[in-house]
Amino acid sequence: MPEKIEVTLTINGETRRGLAEPRLLLADFLRHELGLMGAHIGCEHGVCGACTILIDGRTARSCLHFAVALDGAVIDTVEGLAGPDELHPIQEAFHQNHALQCGYCTSGFLLTTLEFLRRNPDPDEDEIRRALTNNLCRCTGYTNIVKAVAEAAAALRAAD
Amino acid sequence: MSDTPNYVGQAILRREDDYLLRGQGRFIDDLPTPGDTLHLGFVLSPHAHARILGVDGSQALALDGVTAVLVGDDLAKLVQAPFAEIEFPGYHVHGRDVIARQIVRFVGETVAVVVARSPYLAQDAIELVEVEYDPLPACADLESATSPDAPQVHDDIPNNTIFKGDFTTPDFEAAFEGAEHVIRERFRSGRVGGVPLEPRGCLALPEHGDGLVFYSSTQVPHLLRTALARFMEHPESRIRVIVPEVGGGFGTKAQIYPEEFIAAALALKYRRPVKWIQDRREELLTDIHARDHIYDVEIAFNGEGIVQALRADITTNAGAYSSLPFGCTLETTGGARMIVGPYRITNYTYNARAVATHTAPSGAYRGVAQPSCFMAIEGLMDRIARQLSLDPAAVRLANMVPTAELPWTNVVGVRYDTGSFMESLQRAMEMIDYEGFRKRQPADRLVDGKYRGIGIASFTEVSGTGAPGWRARGLVRMPGFDSGIVTVEPTGKITAYVSHAHAGQGHYTTFAQVVADALGADFEDVTIVEGDTATTPYGTNTFASRSAVTGGGALIRAATKVREKMRRIAAHVLETASEDIVIEAGRAHVAGVPEHGLSFLEIAETAYSMNNHTLPDGDGYGLEETDFYDPPLVTMANATHIVEVAVDADDGRVRIENYAVVHDCGRLINPMIVDGQIHGGAAQGIGEALMEEFVYDGEGQLQNASLLDYLLPTSEDVPMFKVEHIESPSIDTVGGFKGVGEGGLIGAVPAVLNAVGDALAGLDININVKPLRPTLLGNLIREARRDRL
Ligand code: FES
Ligand code: FES
């Protein structure tokens, strides 16, 4: 059994520590060591985007990283988006537009959208569609997700 | 029913969203796992057909943390080979050992299970199990599987023909021979799968000795519990199946799989928690596949394009085994029974067969058979139009059963109670400006360097199948009914338990709308419980577009009983007749005197003996009623999809430029959720039409068992869907609801194919296969253009 190594991450603004054997995927570390179940595993080979999180502000697939390689990184997950009483504007737009059905892909879409709208606060439909191609949804047919992202963009612009 | 429906029909935002958006949905792999849990890993056959000569687990067992390596004979002591209980003339019933014993019959079939302390260790152990095989000739291909020299999949199933059925109307030959025109065509549909974003999994927790709490990402908790009990010979009452949040089902998770039996049996054997989470490769290799059909069809018609007779010869690929619980006839008989769709086709004959091959078992994936049979009949409608130089929409309208003639019983005996075949087509044509498109469309279809075409699919959609519907297809043990329990609690709040299990459909919201109206309650006061066999009454569960029809019907019936009792109690307390009591908005009052009434709380306190009132004579304590609902044969919805496509002349890529749907699922419960079902289904249908396909090579190797190679539609592959509804409430079902889960997919496949066929009609390219990948279309276009030079 390989030695377990201590990993320290800043997750949603909090310092979190855990033990990981070198081959432990970041997704499994977050989910099973730290109990953050919001990122889901849909393929474990980097295609579906269900495991998307932010590493140092950039979207990343937590199934393609080893936890030990990220010691010291700043990570954002879906659990950090909403306050106890209200949803983040992106979450609210997904709710208002029925942009989720089973919800398995949703945290990945939310984080992809978060990063995308920081880069491009006023996207058109084609830009939204292009930005979302890295995340698969098998339930919604994307129509309502695209609408939700446009609405979230407008809400975030209005709030600025 | 409620005196005034308040909630049914409204686009109420979903209750499910808040916890899912926060990442708090608890899916199977998110459940707390006890520290002493054993994790399973499966050793899969790399051969499509082979004799197992030996399994050596010694190296795996030498790993610290690996508890056991078990083979087929070990599991056979714990679980009988499960089989689909089909009684149908021409059907060969056969079992499948949960782990293969002597012979493997498809790539991915389990040959051993490893039991380990962690999932990572289980993976290590899988690598170390050595299996010796004697490879045998395999047959993966549908076309050759019935030839006399094809390798046999099962010794006792001659010609690999698991099932054969036929049907003919008495005047068929005369009608066929007498027609002016005949078109023959072969339609070939590629093999696809549901591929839910969440793979499958289960967690088995022993409790109270020989009891078992079994969590599974299933669509069919009650059917699963019965099957576990039956094939493990364990008392059903000692098993509780719980469905956590499920990340999409689409029928894939309506099957009962070997891993579920294995996990349950090993948890009981070791008296330890047992967990298994599937990976994507396993999902693609071993979950049920669907389609892989050949339709040889002949249609006879007169000079006006009116169909005189239809002949269909249907062959479906069953895969290596009949899957549980549906067997392998759903796609076979489903297509044969539904191909006549909304059309007045009264002379009809079919031959249909399901053929075993050395490939993954087939099963129920969204749309079941209907994408293929409507690809055929809708493709024929377009061909009739082209041959007679008529408009495809006009040919359809001329053949449709008009609304005024409903109810109509089709040629195989399926009743269409209400519907809007012509109206949905006409409205969809308006939405997409069909006439304008046709006026603008040049004869060669080339606009701005792209071939542009428009395609129609008008279809009927089987939903809400009752017991007679299952019997008609040989599923003798498939119940048909679903159940509900409606309880008004002592505090006046309402809990409704229903025999369904959701995988994203929004049942917590929609069923609460139905119950609130049926009871006259406030929507906010109603909570829905489902997906737990310990708390919910028995039912057939959630697949085949059933839940609105069967769950909605059962809940309305149970709620109506509760409502009647509440009226009796209110009348008794208010000293009036129960006929004079109106219940609405969470209160019962005397008709016309709203201030003279009782709240639900006051009625509940009376029912639960928590005040000084007495109950009316004949009524017992409590406010809880149970009822079931078994719909008729089937409940028939209908729709039209119209699609505009642009086909790139150089690379053969298809872009969907405009997409309109008019759907009729009877009374709408929540239009927002119905639209979402249609969007998602249509996206899957676009995938099936343009990109998705499982490809087996001649040796039965699956060539694309990853999401890099099995392509799912992305946000750039699908358009903004425009959806409208016509409501023709069912007169045959309680509540007037019809199903909607599958229509999106069913319509998209033929509509997209017809649109591409229309776009390439100027080149005389015949579109009769799917998927229409760019390479295929690019080659067809190049050849056609070369021929024209
Ligand atoms: S699970 Fe990481 S991309 Fe699919
Ligand atoms: S909502 Fe189910 S996969 Fe996206």
Domain count across chain A = 2
Q: What angle do CA B583, B586, B589 make, to 5 degrees?
A: 40
Query: How close is the nearest chain B Cα to the Cα of A82, in Å?
Result: 7
Query: What pLDDT sits at residue B4?
Result: 61
Where helices occur in B533-670 by DSSP H, the ranges are: 547-574, 600-607
| Confidence (pLDDT) at B473 | 87
Residue located via tokens 């700043």: A74
| Local structure of B730: helix, strand or coil | coil
Contact A138 B680 (CB under 8 A): yes
Which residues are CB-contacts of B487 (< 8 A; sequence separation ≥ 6)?
B494, B495, B496, B497, B562, B623, B624
Q: What is the ipTM of this complex?
A: 0.98
pLDDT at B789 over 80: no
Angle in degrees, CA B410, B411, B414, rounded to 5: 45
Helices (H) and strands (E) counted in chain B, each on its own, are: 20, 30
Cα–Cα distance, B688 to B60 (Å, whole number): 41
What CATH number did the domain enclosing A133 receive?
1.10.150.120
Q: What is the CATH number of domain B289-467+632-788?
A: 3.30.365.10
Shared domain for A70 and A9, answered yes or no, is yes
Instruction: Please provide the DSSP assignment of B709-727 as one string.
Output: TSPPP-TTTS---EEEE--
- Token reading at B141: 């291909």
Among A53, A80, A107, which residue terminates a domain? Answer: A80
Q: Which pLDDT does position A160 carry in this prediction? A: 83
B471 to chain A, closest Cα gap in Å? 31
Mean predicted confidence (pLDDT) in B505-532? 98
Residue A153 shares a structural domain with residue A93? yes
Q: In chain B, which segments carry CATH 3.90.1170.50?
A: 31-136+195-286
Res. B3: pLDDT tops 90: no
Smallest Cβ distance to A45: which of B24, B682, B706? B706
State the sign of the Cα–Cα–Cα–Cα dihedral B726, B730, B731, B735. negative
**What burial letters (b/e) apply to B601-627, b meaning 16+ CB within 10 Å?**
bbbbbbbeeeeebebbeeeeebbbbbb
Question: Same domain for A96 and A75?
Answer: no
DSSP reduced 3-state for B650: coil
pLDDT band at B1 (very low <50, low <70, confident <90, very high): very low
Domain B31-136+195-286 has CATH 3.90.1170.50: yes
What is the spatial distance between Cα B520 and Cα B582, in angstroms, rounded to a whole number? 9
**Residues 6+ away with beta carbon under 8 Å from B350:** B165, B166, B167, B168, B311, B312, B313, B314, B336, B339
Q: Do B707 and A36 touch (CB under 8 A)?
A: no
Q: What is the pLDDT of residues B99-127, one digit of tens each?
A: 999 999 999 999 999 999 999 999 999 99
Q: According to CATH, where is 3.30.365.10 located in chain B?
A: 17-24+481-629, 289-467+632-788
* Interface probe, candidates A143, A147, A149, A151, chain B, greatest B C-beta count within 10 A: A143
Our answer on whether the CB atom of A61 is closer than 6 Å to any ligand 1 atom is: yes
- How far is the alpha carbon of B90 from chain A, nearest alpha carbon, in Å? 36
Please say whether the beta carbons of B340 and B300 come within 8 A.
Answer: no
Sheet containing strand B450-463, strands side by side:
B446-447, B450-463, B635-648, B654-664, B722-725
Helix%, strand%, coil% for chain B, nearest 5:
30, 30, 40
Cβ-defined contact of B20 to A100 (cutoff 8 Å): yes
CATH topology of domain B17-24+481-629: Aldehyde Oxidoreductase; domain 4 (3.30.365)
B325 CB within 8 Å of a chain A CB: no
Query: CA torsion sign, B508 to B511 to B514 to B518?
Result: negative
Taking the centre of ligand 1 as the mean of its atom positions, its distance from the CA of residue A45, in whole angstroms, is 6
Contact B25 A103 (CB under 8 A): yes
Interface contact A77, partner B, CB < 8 A: yes
Task: Say what the alpha-carbon torsion angle B768, B772, B774, B779 is, to the nearest 10 degrees.
Answer: -10
Predicted confidence band of residue A73 (pLDDT cuts 50, 70, 90):
very high
Each residue's pLDDT tens digit, B220-251: 999 999 999 999 999 999 999 999 999 999 99
Would you state the pLDDT for residue A3? 87
Residue A46: which CATH number? 3.10.20.30
Contact assessment for residue B556 and residue B2, using Cβ atoms and an 8 Å cutoff: no
| pLDDT score at B245 | 98
**B579 to each of B390, B564, B567, B599, how far by Cα in Å?**
59, 10, 8, 18
Element containing residue B133 per DSSP (H, E): strand B130-135
A13 in the same domain as A72: yes
Q: Tell me the percentage of chain B whose pLDDT exceeds 90.
A: 97
Convert chain A into a string of H (helix), E (strand) and C (coil): CCCCEEEEEEECCEEEEEEECCCCEHHHHHHHHCCCCCCCCCCCCCCCCCCEEEECCEEEECCCCEHHHHCCCEEECHHHCCCCCCCCHHHHHHHHCCCCCCCCCHHHHHHHHHHHHHHCCCCCHHHHHHHHCCCCCCCCCCHHHHHHHHHHHHHHHHHC
Q: How far apart are CA B284 and CA B262, in angstroms?
A: 20
Task: Based on the fold, state whether residues A95 and A138 are members of the same structural domain.
Answer: yes
**Is A47's Cβ below 8 Å from some Cβ in B?**
yes
Half-sphere exposure of residue B311: CA atoms within 13 angstroms, side-chain side = 15
Most A-contacting residue of B30, B715, B718, B740 (CB-CB within 10 A), to test interface: B715
Residue B660 has pLDDT above 50, yes or no: yes
Shortest CB distance from A40 goes to which of B198, B678, B715? Answer: B198
Among B105-119, B343-357, B775-789, which stretch is predicted with the lowest mean pLDDT? B775-789
Verify whether the Cβ–Cβ distance B712 to A37 is below 8 Å: no
Of B18, B280, B715, which is closest to A146 when you measure between CB atoms? B715
User: Which of B24, B347, B328, B23 has its CA nearest to residue B162?
Assistant: B328
Is the omega angle on the peptide bond into residue A22 within 30 degrees of 0, that is, cis? Answer: no
Radius of gyration of chain A (CA): 16
pLDDT of residue A126: 98
For B712-767, how does the pLDDT look when each residue is reduced to its tens digit (9 = 90+)? 999 999 999 999 999 999 999 999 999 999 999 999 999 999 999 999 999 999 99
Are both A14 and A73 inside the same structural domain? yes
Structural domain range at position A154: 89-159
Chain B contact for A149, CB < 8 A?
A: no
Determine if ligand 1 sits within 6 Å of the CB of residue A136. Answer: no
Count of CB atoms situated within 10 Å of the CB of B529: 15
* Closest by Cβ to A102, choosing from B30, B64, B246: B246
| Pair B649, B783: CB distance under 8 Å | no
Whole-number average pLDDT of chain B? 97
B5 has pLDDT over 80: no
The reply to whether B198 touches chain A by the CB within 8 Å rule is: yes
Chain mean position to CA A129: 17
CA of B548 to the centre of ligand 2 (A): 20
pLDDT of residue B2: 41
| Distance in angstroms (rounded) separating the CA atoms of residues B673 and A89 | 21
Helix (H, G, I), strand (E, B) or coil at B182: strand
- Residue A1 pLDDT greater than 70, yes or no: no
Search chain B and give the residue with CA nearest A107. B23
Question: Which domain-ending residue is among A50, A80, A110?
Answer: A80
- Answer yes or no: pTM beyond 0.95: yes
